């Protein structure tokens, strides 16, 4: 019996436990695979191997979806303690090896309201309880230079143009998004499922100010011009929450990336707009980065963004109805 247990432990891989933990949280093979950054067949294969090693099914699969079995529940609860102890041990090792204060400087534009950043920061704080977060307001273009000078450790942005000289900068795609218009529920477009750019010709528009992202602002204006539309921009804002408040008060409708509207007041709805170039949010970091704190945060941000993307569509169709 002892020899059999030893052989099972040798065959067990940490990634199998990580995949199990993700699937136990998502209860959906497709979403779990996206979060784990693997294909669904690869995830299923590793879960099947784990079930063989454990000797009993961990998930029940039927027409209603995926559920944890009693054995799966027990393993999930046990792994919470194991992973917690592992995180504490790794943190203690880092602190013993590096007598330093953990500070993380992040570059982003607060207007963009990136929904995956808060949960990533919360998880980072669980790993590094004493971490100090410093936020720098800057778009992607400025972030590349700031990473080189050490002003920031990680950047989040939507690059519209890149010179190609930033070879020292690493990046990963995080989130794909389309454009949406936010409006009041009594708006004439409130029940539409999609709009075209030319339908915005006479619309009073609230848009992100040029200072938020100059290249992106210019590309949006150019897209209007190329479509033959003269946009009626009534207000430019540097704060998304201010823009939403103005929409509520009836000043106009707000044009923005879908992820900006991840959480909006009940009195408002948003609708996808076709005709604009899609957006890709990226995370930027130094290509030769060695700091565990920075690398852990980048990994957490990627995982949270994958989870968000897996649960939504790129166009982020809002609650508007037909």
pLDDT digits (tens, 9 = 90+) for 118-156: 999 998 887 787 889 999 998 888 898 899 899 999 999
DSSP calls for 222-285: HHHHHTT---EEEEEES-HHHHHHHHHTTS-EEEEEGGGGSS--TTEEEEEEESSPPEEEEEEE
Whether 322 is in a domain gets the answer: no
Instruction: Give the confidence band of 314 by pLDDT, cuts at 50, 70, 90.
Output: very low
Last residue of a domain, one of 57, 73, 96: 96
Assign residue 195 the CATH number of its domain: 3.40.190.10
Instruction: Give the confidence band of 3 by pLDDT, cuts at 50, 70, 90.
Output: very low
Mark whether 73 and 17 lie in a shared domain.
yes
Query: Rounded mean pLDDT of 63-71?
Result: 86
The three-class DSSP label of residue 136 is strand
Query: Rounded mean pLDDT of 266-292?
Result: 92
Whether 60 is in a domain gets the answer: yes
Cβ-contact 113, 133 below 8 angstroms: no
E-state strands within the chain: 59-62, 65-68, 103-108, 132-137, 154-157, 169-177, 179-184, 195-196, 204-208, 232-237, 253-257, 268-274, 279-286
Assign residue 42 the CATH number of its domain: 1.10.10.10
In angstroms, rounded to a whole number, what is the distance separating the alpha carbons of residues 128 and 199?
49
Count of all residues that appear for the chain in the document: 322
The number of domains in the chain is: 3
Cβ-contact 111, 212 below 8 angstroms: yes
The pLDDT value recorded for residue 207 is 95
The pLDDT value recorded for residue 82 is 78
Mark whether 122 and 215 lie in a shared domain.
no
**What six digits make up the tokens of 44?**
């299923």
Whether 233 is in a domain gets the answer: yes
- In 3D space, the residue among 169, 114, 156 whose CA is nearest the CA of residue 298 turns out to be 156
Mark whether 126 and 62 lie in a shared domain.
no
- In 3D space, the residue among 243, 28, 286, 274 whose CA is nearest the CA of residue 155 turns out to be 286
In angstroms, rounded to a whole number, what is the distance separating the alpha carbons of residues 216 and 78?
47
Mark whether 305 and 230 lie in a shared domain.
no
DSSP lists the bridge partners of residue 286 as 169
Whether 320 is in a domain gets the answer: no
Whether 317 is in a domain gets the answer: no
Query: Rounded mean pLDDT of 45-73?
Result: 87
**What six digits make up the tokens of 179?**
């454009």
**Average pLDDT over the chain, rounded to whole?**
84
Query: Rounded mean pLDDT of 239-263?
Result: 92
Query: Rounded mean pLDDT of 30-39?
Result: 81
pLDDT above 50 for 200: yes
Mark whether 274 and 181 lie in a shared domain.
yes
Query: Rounded mean pLDDT of 234-246?
Result: 93
Q: Which residues span the domain enclosing 171?
A: 100-175+282-310
In angstroms, rounded to a whole number, what is the distance separating the alpha carbons of residues 200 and 181?
9
The three-class DSSP label of residue 103 is strand
Q: Pick the residue with more confidence: 171 or 168?
A: 171
Note the Cα 263 to chain centre separation in Å: 14
In angstroms, rounded to a whole number, what is the distance separating the alpha carbons of residues 246 and 225?
25
**What six digits make up the tokens of 176?**
């794909």
In angstroms, rounded to a whole number, what is the distance separating the alpha carbons of residues 19 and 25?
10
The pLDDT value recorded for residue 91 is 67
Mark whether 184 and 237 lie in a shared domain.
yes
Mark whether 86 and 225 lie in a shared domain.
no
Which helix (H) or strand (E) covers residue 299, if one does? helix 292-310
């Amino acid at each position: 019996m002892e020899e059999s247990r030893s052989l099972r432990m040798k065959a067990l891989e940490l990634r199998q436990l990580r995949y199990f933990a993700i699937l136990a949280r998502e209860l959906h093979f497709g979403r779990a695979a996206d979060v784990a950054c693997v294909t669904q067949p690869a995830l299923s294969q590793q879960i099947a191997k784990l079930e063989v090693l454990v000797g009993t099914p961990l998930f029940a699969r039927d027409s209603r979806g995926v559920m944890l079995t009693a054995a799966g529940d027990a393993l999930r609860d046990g792994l919470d303690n194991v992973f917690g102890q592992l995180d504490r041990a790794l943190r203690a090792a880092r602190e013993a090896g590096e007598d330093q204060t953990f500070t993380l400087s992040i570059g982003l534009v607060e207007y963009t309201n990136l929904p995956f950043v808060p949960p990533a920061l919360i998880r980072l704080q669980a790993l590094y309880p004493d971490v100090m977060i410093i936020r720098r307001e800057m778009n992607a273009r400025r972030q590349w230079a700031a990473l080189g000078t050490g002003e920031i450790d990680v950047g989040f942005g939507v690059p519209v143009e890149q010179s190609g000289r930033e070879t020292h900068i690493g990046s990963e795609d995080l989130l794909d998004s389309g454009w949406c218009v936010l409006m009041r529920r009594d708006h004439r477009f409130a029940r539409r499922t999609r709009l075209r750019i030319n339908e915005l010709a006479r619309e009073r528009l609230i848009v992100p100010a040029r200072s938020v992202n100059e290249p992106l602002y210019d590309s949006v204006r150019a897209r209007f011009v190329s479509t033959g539309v003269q946009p009626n921009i009534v207000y430019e804002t540097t704060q998304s929450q201010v823009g939403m408040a103005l929409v509520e008060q009836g000043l106009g409708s707000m044009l923005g990336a879908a992820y900006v509207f991840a959480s909006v007041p009940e009195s408002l709805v948003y609708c996808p707009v076709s005709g604009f170039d899609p957006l890709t949010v990226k995370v930027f970091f130094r290509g030769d980065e060695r700091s565990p704190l920075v690398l852990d945060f980048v990994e957490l941000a990627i995982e949270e963004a994958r989870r968000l993307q897996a649960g939504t569509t790129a166009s982020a169709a809002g609650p508007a109805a037909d």
